[in-house]
Amino acid sequence: MVFNWFQRNGESDQSSEATPAVQPEPDSPQAVEEPAAPETTPDATTVAAEPVVAEPAAPEPAPQPTTKEDEALAWAKAAYARLKAQQEAVAVAAEPEPTAAVDTQPEPQPEPEPAPSPEPEPEPEPEPEPEPEQPQALSFLEQAAAQREQRQRDLDARAVPVEPTSAPIAPAVPAAPSSTASSAAPVQPVADAAEPQLGSFDDDFTWSAEVLAAQGRKADEVSLEEIDWLGRLRRGLEKTRQGFVAGLLENLGDDPLTPEVLDDLETLLLRADAGVTATDQVLDALRERMNQEVVDPAEGIRFLKEQLRGLLEAPISASGVELLGPQRGRLNIWLMVGVNGVGKTTTLGKLANLAVRSGYSALIAAADTFRAAAVQQVEVWGERSAVDVISNPTSNADPAAVVFDAVGAARSRGSDLLLVDTAGRLQTKHNLMEELQKVRKIIDRLAPEAHVESLLVLDASQGQNGLRQAMAFADAAQLTGVVITKLDGTARGGVALAVASEAGLPIRFIGAGEGIRDLRPFNSFEFVEALLAGR
């Protein structure tokens, strides 16, 4: 099955996904009624003669959920049962058909007669063991070396041999100075890119199911891809949630909201790098609500979530595109811009993998020709994602020339998506800004019909410092969206609020881990629920 993450639905053959029809119970309203026999009115004597047969008692209906918690649990159980049955069906279909067994057992041979056992010889007396020599005292360096060798032997003993999943990478061959396309073999990207497996019915699953149900999803519409991603997102925001939610619970208690609680909430939001603008907007809305009525903690949390979602949704609604994805029937070109070290090339590789897994054809342009080993890094990601890379192995090659060749290759191949990796030296370099403008002019001239997106990659661990530093790209690259990475390694996950409120840019993708599957389209509802999980 192909799950289109850019549309959040499944694109597959309906016959393969069809579940077997459930036969209705005899007492259910869906059961087909048998034609009734003609009624007869027996006389009194007949009635007295016939024995009275007691009708079987109808089965008691299953108890209906009475609270929201019960409804959510029942919804999660139904979704889990469906996903488990679906996974078992896939596993059965993948098993090879049994072949006729060939009897290869050898004919039984007659057992040889046992030879007469020789007489036991007298055992020699054991020699006295020599006294162990006293080991000489080892020097400090010799002791350290011995400890390293012992640790290495322990690691080798615990190591589990893994079968190779792809062919070894061939050594690099010197290429011509012009841009060339390195064809990537259709290999499995990495172990992390394998199909997600259904785990146990634990807190992670029930929380993920509750988030999907709150968005109006039905139990038979849930995908294992979404369950897997929500668990990753929740774990990725653990550091931010620990500092934010722990302080929030400590200040709220069971009493209604007070001005002192709002002051503490202001400190928590600023500490999470939500920004002054977003913090003021949230607190002003809470104060206005408090002036109208008494707000208890549960209502305060619900209202807080609503305000945070509103902040994140405002730029997305203004853009007119709810969920960014490649448009079918035309060339889509996405420029990845940002300073060095924020994860541009890694994000590009994950987006290529996401596009392929969602059923799109993709191509990569390695236009970051100034950074050492940048082209080789892009080629590795292309091989992992089974996507061709247009590159120029010449040192300090012209990025615009690489983009020129990549646009031509994408048009000739009919690719759906062209991902362009751009240079990321400090934005104070005037030449870099000119280079980005030159790349944009090349795209506009060669493919005026293409849909172009310029995505700023932002490292969440840099907080607002990284945001202000990278905003210099806005004019030169004509930014249309933001990708936030490394949310799992920082407690500053609130920077997403600053991006939406201060920069006014829609968040399109977020990364919450180092794996190739840890980057997905942004959903404000899921982000806020993961940020405040447990409340």
DSSP symbols for 464-513: HHHHHHHTTHHHHHT--EEEEE-GGG-S-TTHHHHIIIII---EEEEE-S
Beta bridge partners of 511: 519
Predicted confidence band of residue 58 (pLDDT cuts 50, 70, 90): very low
User: In this structure, which amino acid lies at residue 481?
Assistant: G
Question: What does the block give as tokens for 361?
Answer: 């054809």
Predicted confidence band of residue 407 (pLDDT cuts 50, 70, 90): very high
Q: pLDDT value at position 166?
A: 39
From the centroid of its chain, how far is CA 390? Answer: 27
pLDDT tens profile 283-313: 999 899 888 888 888 888 888 899 999 999 9
Q: Which residue has the tokens 């987006």?
A: 351
Mean pLDDT of the chain: 75
Question: What single DSSP character describes residue 103?
Answer: -
* Contact between residue 484 and residue 458 where contact means Cβ atoms under 8 Å apart: yes
* Contact between residue 351 and residue 419 where contact means Cβ atoms under 8 Å apart: yes
Q: pLDDT value at position 158?
A: 52
Q: pLDDT value at position 47?
A: 38
Q: What percent of the chain has pLDDT over 90?
A: 21
- How far apart CA 4 and CA 520 sit, in angstroms, is 11
Q: Does the pLDDT at position 326 exceed 50?
A: yes
User: In this structure, which amino acid lies at residue 89?
Assistant: A
pTM beyond 0.95:
no
Q: pLDDT value at position 14?
A: 37
**Average pLDDT of 198-210?**
86
* Contact between residue 418 and residue 383 where contact means Cβ atoms under 8 Å apart: no
- How far apart CA 450 and CA 464 sit, in angstroms, is 33
Q: Which residue has the tokens 């907007």?
A: 281
Predicted confidence band of residue 387 (pLDDT cuts 50, 70, 90): very high
Q: Does the pLDDT at position 172 exceed 50?
A: no
Q: Does the pLDDT at position 190 exceed 90?
A: no
pLDDT tens profile 241-278: 877 777 776 767 667 788 888 888 888 888 888 888 88
Q: pLDDT value at position 121?
A: 53
pLDDT tens profile 412-462: 999 999 999 988 765 555 677 788 888 889 999 999 999 999 999 988 888
Q: pLDDT value at position 416?
A: 94
Check residues 172 and 391 and name the one with the higher pLDDT.
391
Q: Does the pLDDT at position 392 exceed 60?
A: yes
364: three-class secondary structure by DSSP: strand
Q: Which of 241, 465, 259 lies closest to 342 in space, CA to CA?
A: 465
Q: Does the pLDDT at position 315 exceed 90?
A: yes
pLDDT tens profile 124-142: 555 555 554 444 555 656 6
* Contact between residue 394 and residue 177 where contact means Cβ atoms under 8 Å apart: yes
Q: Does the pLDDT at position 44 exceed 50?
A: no
**Average pLDDT of 357-362?**
92
pLDDT tens profile 69-98: 678 788 888 888 888 888 888 778 777 665
Q: Does the pLDDT at position 168 exceed 50?
A: no
> What's the chain's Rg over C-alpha atoms?
33
Predicted confidence band of residue 1 (pLDDT cuts 50, 70, 90): low
Predicted confidence band of residue 352 (pLDDT cuts 50, 70, 90): very high
* Contact between residue 275 and residue 258 where contact means Cβ atoms under 8 Å apart: no
